[in-house]
Amino acid sequence: MESIKLNGTELNVNEIESKSIDELLHHIYLNFNTSHHLVSSIKIDGEEIFDIPSTNIKRKPIDQIEMVEVKTNHIREILNETLEDLLSYTDSIISLSRSIYTQKNNFERAMKFDRLIEWLQVFVDSVCTIKSKTPLKGEKLITITELECHLRDEIQALSHAKSNDDDRTCEIILSEKVPFIFEGWRDLGIPTLMAAWDN
């Protein structure tokens, strides 16, 4: 590896002992993430690296890499971008949840149901990660914790109703309760997480 830059500043390549791309990425995430800044972008010879490097990059010998560019952003900027995405995600979840029992075709209904479960899990995981990195206190912490509990309870109730082939309960949860909970996340929960950094 000939050169590595962090936010445009050249670093000492000799301090990075990596024998593979995986080791290099591990070193970057381990050493460049801090309590206030997170790695937001990694480029290897101009190619953006996401969660899984492309096969071409992964096979490249470490000594043939010319340039590694790493950018970090303040954790607040990254989390706010994620929260903005979740804000629009809530409307998609509400719309999908309400549409499931409007489907007459059982196959289409099952497909939409599976998609909703996947979206709910993504939302829960995202909120859990954001919450762990956000300075929540007092009423803000109580608000988010209550919303989390309500969401998890309804997911559990939905799973129970589905396993018992209780269509009527599933319909009530999907048509009324899930949309109500996500309106709460859209109007109160996510704005609360955003505002937590203002204090």
Domain ranges of the chain: 3-74, 77-198
**In this model, does residue 162 exceed pLDDT 70?**
yes
**In this model, does residue 28 exceed pLDDT 90?**
no
The per-residue pLDDT for 17 is: 79
The per-residue pLDDT for 55 is: 63
Res. 21 pLDDT band, cuts 50 70 90: confident
Average pLDDT over the chain reads 88
The residue among 99 and 82 whose pLDDT is bigger is 99
For residue 67, the cross-strand partners are 3
The residue among 133 and 180 whose pLDDT is bigger is 180
Please state, in angstroms and rounded to a whole number, the distance separating the CA atoms of residues 116 and 64: 45
> Is 15 strand, coil or helix?
helix
**In this model, does residue 54 exceed pLDDT 80?**
no
Q: Which CATH architecture has domain 3-74?
A: Roll (3.10)
The per-residue pLDDT for 147 is: 95
Please state, in angstroms and rounded to a whole number, the distance separating the CA atoms of residues 190 and 188: 6
The residue among 65 and 95 whose pLDDT is bigger is 95
59-71 pLDDT, tens per residue?
A: 778 888 889 999 9
What is the arithmetic mean of pLDDT over 84-93?
Answer: 92
Query: How would DSSP label each residue in 139-189?
Result: HHHHHHHHHHHHHHHHHHHHHHHHHTT-HHHHHHIIIIIHHHHHHHIIIII
